[in-house]
Amino acid sequence: MKKRYLLHVAFATLVFASCNKQGFLDQTQSTDLNEQVVFSDSVYTINFLSSIYADIGFATWPRRFGGGGLDASTDEAEGAGLGSINTFIQFATGTVNSNLITRDAWANSYTNIRRVNIMLKNLPQAKFGDDIKVRVKAESRFLRAYYYFILLEHYGGVPLMGDSVYRASDQIPFARDTYEDCVNYIVSECDAAAEDLPWIQEGENYGRINKAACYGLKSRVLLYAASPLFNGEGFVTAGPLQAIVGYPNADQTRWKRAEDAAAQIMESGQYALHVDNNTEPGYGFYRVFQLRKNSEYLLARMQDANRDLEGIWHPPTFGLGSPGAYPYLETVNAFGMKNGLPIDDPQSGYDPAQPYKDRDPRLANTVTRDQSLVFHRDGLARRPVNIYIDKTNPSNITSGQDAIYKGTPTGYYTYKMVHREVGADWFSTETPRCMPIIRYAEILLNYAEARNERLASPDDEIYDAVESIRERAGLSPFVLPTDLSKAEMRDIIRNERQKELAFEGHRFFDVRRWKIAEVVENSQLHGTEPVRTSAGTAYNTINVRKRVFNNRMYLWPIPQSEVAKSVELLQNPGY
């Protein structure tokens, strides 16, 4: 049985191998005969669908660019392995280049869009029942919309292929569609797919696309579309690109569309935050990422039991395999106190001499700092991470392998979604964890942001959405002041997104759609140097990187290899 399955996978991979990692302007070599073979066998057909699923989540993978991903490409974290020129270095230094930047967003997305079109063309003659055909068609249409959204968030408007499968002899459309057309297409495909899918997939279908994933993607794309960068306030004010990189006109009613999309999920009653404040404050925030099936994931990248994140984010002596990015002090400082107040509030109780005392419980489940407890196979227990420089003996100043400057340039390691009892080495167990792409916490924050921007001042519905996030986080009290202005609530919502959704791929696009990247990514970023002396531990702030940002970096450049194929494919401004 296993050999037969592997044979089918190998055959399907062979038939469509030339589709892999191409742009839509490249031609594949799949013939009508090959398609006839694949779609005349139900196993081949489902394996082909699985190949479209396979790239889900690639854009937010923490090692997407080597020693970091989107987290290292924004003000969230410093990348690892800085000796080579890669995408996150280009974003850190302001040297983004259409010749050198990774082309994965373009190539992966159009490869999978073409696969969907092949699937839809051949689905009528596939060898399974009509009910499965309906489901497969809906899943495929969502996946196509998902990959178009990846293109849209990176580049703005892109060429829409419809259902066409272009071949070498065909006239291929090169011109980019408008931002509005792309948004409308993605939304309409999500709505159409949702009609034929259940709210929750059960049994052997768990992990497949469901109605919630459709509405969740719709919520995100409409929130982005309503945001300043795209809602008539972009950095292109004239010319043919103006309508391609955003809406030429501002329209506040776009916030209402985003609000309504999030409300579709909230009002269904099918999803909820995973809450557990009895085990310890904020334990539900930690635990949700360890549960393969939970009440919060609308869309996730399904995978086998793994130690992936432990090998990326653990300190060196804890079994690190391939390092990912290291959080900046600014990310750490975004997490306020357990009492819900920011650390710079005089009433917060923050003590610079004990900077991690009584902090937001999410901090300990997001960042490893000096003396954090991390699982290690020695003794099968968690032990503290020594990030400090040891100056207790002035004649023998030492720093361990995990310490600042040796293991981490910022004084921190990432801990988000790491399992407390899984090590990075092969001696330890694995976690059934899968990687979240859309989860209910995001939907609540999408709803709160859109409604707050639409109304003159925050109402009870906005308070309820934000406070439910804070309550699950273990803040006490979690309630907000009742007299917040619209601007004050906006700052709180943005701060909650920065904390709650840290290292899940949101920050890079959030600071761009809000049009604050020119501030937060054009500044000196810091770390913490813990120094152990006979008097205790001092926490010194250190400079890590002066990041550089210019307005062209609000969008990615289309790979030059694609633009060179046609004068009709306009490059993004500044590239």
pLDDT per position in the chain (575 positions), as tens?
333 333 233 333 333 433 444 444 444 444 455 888 999 999 999 999 999 999 999 999 999 999 999 999 999 999 998 667 799 999 999 999 999 999 999 999 999 999 999 999 999 999 999 999 999 999 999 999 999 999 999 999 999 999 999 877 777 889 999 999 999 999 999 999 999 999 999 999 999 999 999 999 999 999 999 999 999 999 899 999 999 999 999 999 999 999 999 999 999 999 999 999 999 999 999 999 999 999 999 999 999 999 999 999 999 999 888 899 999 999 999 999 999 999 999 999 999 999 999 999 999 999 999 999 999 877 678 999 999 999 998 888 988 999 999 999 999 999 999 999 998 876 678 999 999 999 999 999 999 999 999 999 999 999 999 999 999 999 999 999 999 999 999 999 999 999 999 999 999 999 999 999 999 999 999 999 999 999 999 999 999 999 999 999 999 999 999 999 999 999 999 99
- Among 430, 424, 434, 427, smallest CA distance to 314 is for 424
Print burial letters for 542-559: b (CB count within 10 Å at least 16), e (below 16).
Answer: eebbebebeeebbbbbbb
- Whether residue 225 lies inside any domain: the answer is yes
Of the CA atoms within 13 Å of residue 31, those in its CB half-sphere come to 3
Question: For the domain that residue 233 is a member of, what is the CATH number?
Answer: 1.25.40.900
Number of compact structural domains in the chain: 1
Structure-block tokens of residue 225: 């579309």
pLDDT of 26: 45
- Whether residue 50 lies inside any domain: the answer is no
DSSP 8-state symbol, 114: H
- Among 347, 298, 299, 333, smallest CA distance to 498 is for 333
- Whether residue 539 lies inside any domain: the answer is no
The whole-angstrom separation of Cα 130 and Cα 236 is: 48
The whole-angstrom separation of Cα 575 and Cα 560 is: 9
Cβ–Cβ under 8 Å, residues 196 and 138: yes
Residue carrying the six token digits 């062209």? 552
- Whether residue 508 lies inside any domain: the answer is yes
- Whether residue 251 lies inside any domain: the answer is yes
- Whether residue 470 lies inside any domain: the answer is yes
Range of the domain at 484: 198-302+434-514
Structure-block tokens of residue 485: 């202005």
CA 310 to chain CA centroid, Å, is 18
Cβ atoms < 10 Å from Cβ of 114 = 26
- Whether residue 243 lies inside any domain: the answer is yes
The whole-angstrom separation of Cα 513 and Cα 496 is: 16
The whole-angstrom separation of Cα 495 and Cα 501 is: 10
Task: Name, in order, each residue with C-beta under 8 angstroms of 304's C-beta and a sequence gap of 6 or more.
Answer: none
DSSP 8-state symbol, 483: T
Residue carrying the six token digits 């469509």? 16
Backbone angles phi, psi at 475, to 5 degrees: -70, 145
Residue carrying the six token digits 């937060």? 520
pTM for the whole structure: 0.94
- Whether residue 88 lies inside any domain: the answer is no
Structure-block tokens of residue 430: 């694995």
SS3 state at 400: coil
